[in-house]
Amino acid sequence: MGAAGSSALGRLGLPASRLPAQPRPGWLAVTALGLAAVALGTVAWRRARSRRRRRLQQVGTVAQLWIYPVKSCKGVAVSAAECTALGLRCGHLRDRFWLVIKEDGHMVTARQEPRLVLVSITYEGDRLILRAPGMDQLVLPGKLPSSNKLHDCRLFGMDIKGRDCGDQAAKWFTSFLKTEAFRLVQFEDHMKGRSSKKIFSTLVPNYQVAYPDCSPIMLLSEASLVDLNTRLEKKLKMDQFRPSIVVTGCDAFEEVSTSQRL
């Protein structure tokens, strides 16, 4: 039986031990090396083409970064921040991770208590320092004792947890707002956020939201604000929208179409 017959039997699945040993021609080794080179070249070409498709295109420049630790209170400008699934983070500063509530757990924002926008925040190490007109400063630790009470809070008809920040913080906000008894709570990473599927339509990804109104990060361009103000008698300022990221170098409302493409 010749080499061709032996190859045919091998393809049919006969054990190699029953076939007579045959010397392999040198051209088979050359062919194998050639096929391997072609395969490697194809993989490299596909990867290069994929990288070309994924090449980033600049659509704007980040002009400002803001973190609003306590919902409806003043923001803190930062030079750098980590973009997490629950919003911007800079050290112990987390965006909208603190919330003023009524004793029954319902949220309190500047919609109900406009004086909240007068509360300013700075941070030193792992402490938040709150100041307000006519009030001594309030110092909050970045991490609360696990023994502090957990509250069932209510935001826009949805339930979410919050760790009580203590009686001192409760008295501070109650004394400043002067309308009823309030408490301050803090969201923690292990807590379950509100589902975006219950806030938006089913067309958006299913992500978690802590105490922001409806999304972990709000992005706004300077051009959009300029465009809006051309149609208003009373001009608005950027901080009235409380964006996390302010972008420049793009057309008005381009941040909306760009985010939808992403």
Given a cut of 50, is residue 115 above it in pLDDT? yes
Q: Please state, for a pLDDT cut of 90, what percent of the chain lies above it.
A: 63
Residue 198's alpha-carbon distances to 74, 77, 158, 195, in angstroms, are 28, 31, 9, 6
Percentage of the chain surpassing pLDDT 70?
76
Q: Which whole number is the average pLDDT over 145-172?
A: 95
75-102, pLDDT tens digit by residue? Answer: 999 999 999 999 999 988 999 999 999 9
Confidence of residue 41 (pLDDT cuts 50, 70, 90): low
* Domain boundaries of the chain, sorted by first residue: 65-213
Q: How far is CA 143 from CA 1, 10, 72, 92, 160, in A?
A: 82, 70, 21, 8, 18
Which band of pLDDT confidence, cut at 50, 70 and 90, is reported for residue 174?
A: very high
The string of pLDDT tens digits covering residues 220-256 is 999 999 999 999 999 999 999 999 999 999 999 988 7
